[in-house]
Amino acid sequence: MTTTTPNGFVLDNSGRRMVVDPVTRIEGHMRCEVNIDDQKIIRNAVSSGTMWRGLEVILKGRDPRDAWAFCERICGVCTGTHALTSVRAVEDALGITIPENANIIRNMMQATLWAHDHLVHFYHLHALDWVDVLGALKADPKATSALAQSISPWPNASPGYFRDVQNRLKKFVASGQLGPFMNGYWGNPAYKLPPEANLMAVTHYLEALDFQREIVKIHTVFGGKNPHPNWLVGGVASAINLDGPMAAGAPVNMVQLNLVSSIIDRTIEFIDQVYLPDLLAIGSFYKDWLYGGGLSGHNVLAYGDFPDRANDYGPDNLLIPRGAIVNGNLKEVLDVDLRDLEQVQEFVDHSWYRYPNENEGLHPWEGITDPNFKLGPNSKGTKTDIQQLDEGAKYSWIKAPRWRGHAMEVGPLSRFTIGYARGIAEFKDPVDKVLTDLGLPFEALFSTLGRTAARGLEASWAAHKLRYFHDKLMANLKSGDLSTANIQKWEPSSWPKEAKGVGFAEAPRGALGHWVHIRDARIEAYQAVVPTTWNGSPRDPAGNIGAFEASLLNTPMADPEQPVEILRTLHSFDPCLACSTHIMGPGGEELTKVQVR
Amino acid sequence: MPETETFYGVLRAQGVTRRSFLKFCSLTAAALGLGPDYVGQIAYAMETKPRIPVLWMHGLECTCCSESFIRSGHPLAKDVILKMISLDYDDTLMASAGYQAEAILDEIPKKYPGEYILAVEGNPPLNEDGMYCIVGGKPFVEKLKSVAANAKAVIAWGACASWGCVQAAHPNPTAATPIDKVITDKPIIKVPGCPPIAEVMTGVITYMLTFGRIPDLDGRGRPLMFYSQRIHDKCYRRPHFDAGEYVESWDDQGAREGYCLYKMGCKGPTTYNACSTVRWNGGVSFPIQSGHGCIGCSEEGFWDNGPFYSRLSDVHGFGIEANADKIGGVAAGVVGAGVAVHAGVSAVMRARNKSHKGDASGSDQSTEKDKGHKGDQQ
The answer to whether A482 contacts B256, with C-beta atoms less than 8 Å apart, is: yes
Strand, helix or coil at B246? Answer: strand
Report chain B's mean pLDDT, rounded to a whole number.
81
In the predicted structure, residue A108 carries a pLDDT above the cut 70: yes
Strand, helix or coil at B333? Answer: helix
User: Taking CB atoms and an 8 Å cut-off, how many pairs form between chains A and B?
Assistant: 358
Element (H or E) spanning A43, and its range?
strand A42-49
> What are the tens digits of pLDDT across the range A291-332?
999 999 999 999 999 999 999 999 999 999 999 999 999 999
The answer to whether B318 contacts A493, with C-beta atoms less than 8 Å apart, is: yes
Residues of A in contact with B92 (CB under 8 A): 24-27, 125
Give the residue range(s) of CATH 4.10.480.10 domains in chain B.
231-377
CA angle A519, A521, A523 (to 5 degrees): 60
CA angle B55, B59, B62 (to 5 degrees): 110
pLDDT value of residue A74: 93
Q: What is the ipTM of this complex?
A: 0.95
Please tell me if residue A250 touches chain B, with a CB cutoff of 8 Å. Answer: yes
CA atoms within 13 A on the CB side of A54: 29
Q: What is the mean pLDDT of residues B246-265?
A: 96
The answer to whether A225 contacts B58, with C-beta atoms less than 8 Å apart, is: no
Residues of B in contact with A397 (CB under 8 A): 132
Listing DSSP states for A538-563 in one string gives ---TT----HHHHHHTT-B-S-TTS-
> What are the tens digits of pLDDT across the range B80-134?
998 899 999 999 999 999 999 999 999 999 999 999 999 999 999 999 999 999 9
In the predicted structure, residue A355 carries a pLDDT above the cut 60: yes
In the predicted structure, residue B321 carries a pLDDT above the cut 90: no
Nearest to B249 among A76, A386, A487 (CB): A487
> What are the tens digits of pLDDT across the range A546-583?
999 999 999 999 999 999 999 999 999 999 988 776 54
Q: Cβ(B210)–Cβ(B27) under 8 Å? A: no
Q: What is the mean pLDDT of residues A437-461?
A: 98
Cα-Cα-Cα-Cα dihedral sign, residues A331, A336, A341, A346 = positive
Give the residue range(s) of CATH 3.40.50.700 domains in chain B.
53-215
Domain B231-377 has CATH 4.10.480.10: yes
DSSP summary character for residue B296 = -
Least confident interval from A243-247, A334-338, A394-398? A243-247
Please tell me if residue A20 touches chain B, with a CB cutoff of 8 Å. Answer: yes
Nearest CA in chain A to B237: A249
> What are the tens digits of pLDDT across the range A499-546?
999 999 999 999 999 999 999 999 999 999 999 999 999 999 999 999
User: A120-137 b/e with 16+ CB inside 10 Å = b?
Assistant: bbbbbbbbbbbbbbbbbb
CATH number assigned to the domain covering B53-215: 3.40.50.700
Residues of B in contact with A246 (CB under 8 A): 256-258
Interface of A with B in 290-349 (CB under 8 A): none
Measured CA distances, A330 to A290, A324, A442 (Å): 20, 10, 12
The percentage of residues in chain A with a pLDDT greater than 70, rounded to a whole number, is 97
In the predicted structure, residue A134 carries a pLDDT above the cut 90: yes
pTM: 0.89
In the predicted structure, residue B165 carries a pLDDT above the cut 80: yes
**Strand locations in B68-210, DSSP E?**
85-90, 117-121, 134-135, 138-139, 153-157, 188-191
Q: B322: pLDDT confidence band, cut at 50, 70 and 90?
A: very low
Q: What is the mean pLDDT of residues A190-210?
A: 98
pLDDT value of residue A585: 35
Distance CA B181, CA B177 (A): 7
Which residues, other chains included, contact B365 with Cβ-Cβ below 8 Å and sequence gap of 6+?
Answer: B218, B219, B220, B349, B352, B356
Phi-psi region at A228: left, alpha or beta (left = phi > 0; alpha = psi -120 to 50): left
Nearest CA in chain A to B171: A58
Strand, helix or coil at B167? Answer: helix
CB-count burial class (<10 Å; 0-12, 13-18, 19+) for B193: buried
Nearest to A177 among B51, B171, B172 (CB): B51
> What are the tens digits of pLDDT across the range B264-280?
999 999 999 999 999 99
> What are the tens digits of pLDDT across the range B360-373?
333 333 333 333 33
- In 3D, which of B250, B115, B118, B127 has the Cα closest to residue B177? B127
Residues of A in contact with B98 (CB under 8 A): 19-23, 563
Strand, helix or coil at A187? Answer: coil
In the predicted structure, residue A443 carries a pLDDT above the cut 90: yes
The answer to whether B71 contacts A216, with C-beta atoms less than 8 Å apart, is: yes
Cα-Cα-Cα-Cα dihedral sign, residues B75, B81, B82, B83 = positive
The answer to whether B137 contacts A31, with C-beta atoms less than 8 Å apart, is: yes
More confidently predicted of A594 and B137:
B137
Distance CA A85, CA A67 (A): 10
Distance CA B291, CA A466 (A): 22
The answer to whether A58 contacts B291, with C-beta atoms less than 8 Å apart, is: no
Distance CA A200, CA A445 (A): 25
CB-count burial class (<10 Å; 0-12, 13-18, 19+) for B355: exposed
The answer to whether A63 contacts B306, with C-beta atoms less than 8 Å apart, is: yes
Q: Cβ(A436)–Cβ(A430) under 8 Å? A: no
Interface of A with B in 226-245 (CB under 8 A): 226-232, 234-241, 244
Q: What is the mean pLDDT of residues A278-295?
A: 97
Peptide bond into A22 cis (omega under 30): yes
Nearest CA in chain B to A70: B166
In the predicted structure, residue B40 carries a pLDDT above the cut 80: no
Measured CA distances, A384 to A18, A373, A381, B60, B175 (Å): 19, 11, 8, 17, 17
**Strand locations in A198-304, DSSP E?**
300-302
pLDDT value of residue A56: 78
Helix axes A276-284, A448-478, angle to 10 degrees: 170
Q: What is the dihedral of CA A345, A348, A350, A351, to 10 degrees?
A: 120
The answer to whether B14 contacts A172, with C-beta atoms less than 8 Å apart, is: yes
Both ends of chain A: CA-CA distance in Å? 45
Q: What is the mean pLDDT of residues A468-476?
A: 98
Nearest CA in chain A to B276: A224
Q: B4: pLDDT confidence band, cut at 50, 70 and 90?
A: very low
